[in-house]
Amino acid sequence: MTASEPISIVIAEDHPVFRDGLRALLTSVDDTRIVGEASSGTDAVELAAALQPDVVLMDLRMPGLDGLEATRRIVATSPHVAVLVVTMFEDDESVFAALRAGARGYLLKGADQHEILRAIRAVASGEAIFGPDVARRLIAFFGTQRSHGPLVFPELTEREREVLELIAQGHNNQVIAQRLVLSPKTVRNHVSNVFSKLQVADRAEAIVRAREAGMGGERQQS
């Protein structure tokens, strides 16, 4: 892409209404050009390889090959193609998984038109960009990590530490599931893993261990 050429874009989105909205937006400005549309991750990978666009707008949840794996494959074979995730999922796990997969930006589907265009132009020029809501979550996440220190319960995964933090604040599994946008079954599995790795018998003992390590500062009951 040169300064005089429009940004070539592939839209990877399986919801027709949202895809239509993106198409209408991108055809309304002079500096963007849609070169392909995909309704699955497999199609997105194939179109990116064949068309070599400047930007792929990538939904995370699509039939067949999901957006994360599609992003990995596109970046692996065409690292110059900028993948901008546009999704409804704002949980930390989805954000960090997308970044690890090689996405250059992350927006929520509630972003306004100006925000979407600004993000497309930014990633096309080599920048990394996040929507305001996602940026706040990243800042909060790293702030929490700094306050606890990097060596707090290193045997736990990032998600398990998040669960333990909420346990230490006194929250029950239902609230934890709501906070982390997880299913109750997934939360139960994480709690079981935390108990096993910390070698504690129950929730009360886990809370004691966590608070001794500086976690659960809010100590809210639910």
> Which letter does DSSP use for residue 6 in this model?
P
Q: What is the mean pLDDT of residues 44-55?
A: 97
* Structure confidence at residue 220 as a pLDDT band (50, 70, 90): very low
What are the DSSP E strand ranges found in 59-212? 82-87, 105-108, 129-130
Strand partners for 38: 12
The pLDDT tens digits for 113-161 are 999 999 999 999 999 888 777 777 666 666 655 554 455 787 888 888 8
pLDDT digits (tens, 9 = 90+) for 133-144: 777 766 666 665
Residue 221 pLDDT level (bands cut at 50, 70, 90): very low
Is residue 148 helix, strand or coil?
Answer: helix
What is the architecture of the domain spanning 7-136? 3-Layer(aba) Sandwich (3.40)
pLDDT digits (tens, 9 = 90+) for 162-213: 899 999 999 999 999 998 888 999 999 999 999 998 889 899 999 988 888 8
Mean pLDDT of the chain: 87
Query: DSSP letter string over 6-56?
Result: PEEEEEE-S-HHHHHHHHHHHTTSTTEEEEEEESSHHHHHHHHHHH--SEE
| pLDDT over threshold 50, residue 110 | yes
CA pair distance 176, 183, nearest whole angstrom: 9
Domain with CATH 3.40.50.2300 in the chain: 7-136
Other C-beta atoms lying within 10 Å of the C-beta of residue 98 = 25
pTM of the complete model: 0.63
CATH 1.10.10.10 residue ranges of the chain are: 149-212
CB 64 within 8 A of CB 36: no
3 state DSSP class of 22: helix
Residue 84's nearest CA partner among 49, 111, 64, 63 is: 111
| pLDDT attached to residue 222 | 42
The three state secondary structure string of 104-139 is CEEEECCCCHHHHHHHHHHHHCCCCEECHHHHHHHH
Architecture of domain 149-212: Orthogonal Bundle (1.10)
